[in-house]
């Protein structure tokens, strides 16, 4: 179907929803004149951003005025989770609405895809972009993909009309000589990493000039908005930053009290502000849902070049809260009920939520792991998500139900020490009382551990063996 403006009747026909349902969500007015009814969707996804790295989430010296404004005028979710604590599986979960164990996009050995990987997101998976294209959306992926860099796995093969970005992490394809780890942390130079910049299927620059990459991503997003302002559009905008190596353009370099990390965050915040300003200038702000989050927690072994999980424990690579609970904002002026949400949500929920708002179909031929959050967004109702499973690779390390989280296996962050420990009696924490996971209360609540363990076992019964995409590589 070609993307276009929809009349009221046309949109109801393709969406399969009734007028009462859409009026409930605040999408339809009462008149029957021709108008754009299908909302635009923009998902902005940072890389390695910690729970404590935004002003709105408590950082004292990182200046993020645009994101802070969105947090005040929209909804700030304080218990919002990704489905993995590293790049590839986390991104696979967002784009499919399924735990990555179901698609083969996680591994105990190779945690993410690398330049020598030959696997990627399977053709059998249905992406959010594919679902939206079926109801007339123009679709773009701008930024870091990391779901497969070979032709069958690129965004343009999985529902995106347009792609501009890097195909994997910005620290891959290292060509900078000795002391690679130190160069990630201190005085990085863009030529140390031979990362390709792509447009659709073509490499247009190598190495990508990462000093200007945030600005160029933003310009591409603005261009796409303007080109598609008369039709519904979906932009998935996964930033390269604040993954190390860190790079900021001249305009932002040296401007933050937080140092280079703060400079980079200031530019990401500028990028978000530029997107919002463009929506306002094109009279699209009141018809566009903007979602901001991150793929996993901070890369702690990068020291000051990495971020902060605030009061949450640990970071990237772990199933402690700091690895998988992310600062998340939903913004839709005049539509979303502003406030702070304490209930659970997840990137797994974005697929069904966006489908509910746009009339797209959620795949009915497979297990989906998300919930429609629109009643929370628009009417302040309780979140339907009551549980969360915490995977590290292919194994369940922890699970949460309500206030309580049980750890079956614990392990430290990358390059930060800490042995893998299997707990005969799971650790138990009340995250409402103890978000830092300091006080094990397993001996006080054996019935809670039993209940959570039953949930985990029921979940495992739904997991079927699939081909491991991350283990496939050039020999």
Closest CA relative to residue 463, chosen from 101, 89, 92: 101
The enclosing H or E element of 290 equals: strand 288-294
8-state DSSP, 374: H
| Distance (Å, whole) CA 106 – CA 118 | 14
Annotation marks residue 87 as catalytic: yes
Query: Catalytic site residue 146?
Result: yes
The answer to whether 361 and 373 have CB atoms below 8 angstroms apart is no
How many angstroms separate the CA atoms of 17 and 22, rounded? 7
The residues, any chain, with a CB within 8 Å of residue 64's CB and separated by 6 or more, are: 54, 55, 56, 265, 266, 268, 269
Give SS3 for 237. strand
- Measured distance CA(434)–CA(444) in Å, rounded: 15
Residue 342: name the closest of 289, 291, 380 by CA.
Answer: 380
Q: Exposed, middle or buried: residue 439 (CB in 10 Å: 0-12, 13-18, 19+)?
A: exposed
State the DSSP string of 172-201.
-SB-S-S-HHHHHHSS--GGGB-PPEEETT
Contact yes or no for 404/392 (Cβ under 8 A): no
Considering the candidates 46, 59, 106, 146, report the single residue annotated as catalytic. 146
Catalytic residue among 46, 59, 87, 158: 87
DSSP state of 325: B
Active site residues: 87, 146
């Amino acid at each position: 179907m070609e993307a276009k403006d929809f009349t009221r009747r046309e949109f109801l026909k393709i969406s399969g929803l009734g007028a009462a349902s859409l009026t409930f969500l605040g999408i339809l007015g009462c008149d029957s004149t021709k108008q754009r009814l299908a909302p635009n969707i923009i998902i902005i996804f940072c890389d390695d951003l910690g729970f404590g790295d935004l002003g709105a989430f408590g950082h004292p010296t990182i200046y993020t005025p645009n994101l802070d404004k969105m947090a005040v005028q929209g909804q700030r979710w304080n218990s919002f989770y990704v489905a993995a604590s590293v790049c590839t599986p986390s991104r696979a979960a967002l784009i499919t609405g399924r735990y990555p164990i179901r698609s083969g996009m996680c591994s105990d050995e190779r945690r993410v895809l690398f330049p020598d990987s030959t696997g990627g997101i399977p053709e059998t998976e249905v992406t959010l972009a594919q679902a939206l294209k079926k109801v007339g959306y123009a679709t773009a992926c701008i930024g870091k993909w990391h779901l497969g860099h070979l032709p069958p796995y690129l965004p343009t093969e999985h529902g995106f009309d347009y792609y501009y970005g890097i195909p994997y992490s910005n620290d891959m394809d290292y060509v900078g000589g000795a002391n690679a780890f130190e160069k990630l942390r201190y005085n990085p130079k863009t030529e140390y990493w031979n990362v390709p910049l792509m447009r659709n299927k073509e490499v247009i620059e190598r190495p990508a000039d990462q000093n200007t990459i945030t600005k160029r991503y933003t310009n591409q997003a603005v261009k796409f908005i303007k080109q598609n302002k008369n039709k519904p559009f979906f932009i998935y905008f996964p930033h390269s930053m604040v993954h190390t190596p860190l790079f900021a353009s001249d305009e932002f370099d040296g401007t933050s009290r937080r140092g280079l990390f703060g400079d980079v965050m200031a530019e990401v915040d500028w990028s978000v502000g530029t997107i919002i300003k463009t929506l306002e200038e094109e009279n699209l702000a009141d018809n566009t849902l903007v979602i901001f989050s991150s793929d996993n927690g901070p890369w702690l072994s990068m020291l000051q070049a990495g971020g902060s999980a605030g009061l949450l424990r640990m970071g990237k690579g772990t199933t402690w809260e700091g690895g998988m609970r992310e600062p998340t904002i939903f913004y839709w002026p005049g539509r979303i009920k502003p406030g702070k949400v304490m209930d659970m949500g997840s990137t797994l929920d974005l697929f069904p939520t966006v489908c509910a708002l746009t009339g797209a179909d959620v795949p009915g031929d497979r297990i989906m792991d998300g919930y429609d959050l629109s009643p929370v967004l628009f009417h302040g109702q309780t979140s339907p998500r009551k549980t969360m499973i915490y995977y590290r690779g292919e194994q369940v390390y922890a699970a949460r139900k309500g206030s309580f989280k049980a750890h079956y296996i614990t392990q430290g962050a990358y390059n930060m020490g800490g042995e893998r420990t299997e707990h005969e009696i799971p650790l138990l924490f009340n995250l409402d009382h103890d978000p830092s996971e300091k006080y094990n209360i397993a001996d006080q609540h054996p019935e809670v551990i039993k209940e959570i363990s039953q949930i985990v076992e029921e979940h495992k019964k739904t997991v079927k063996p699939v081909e491991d995409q991350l283990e496939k590589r050039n020999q």
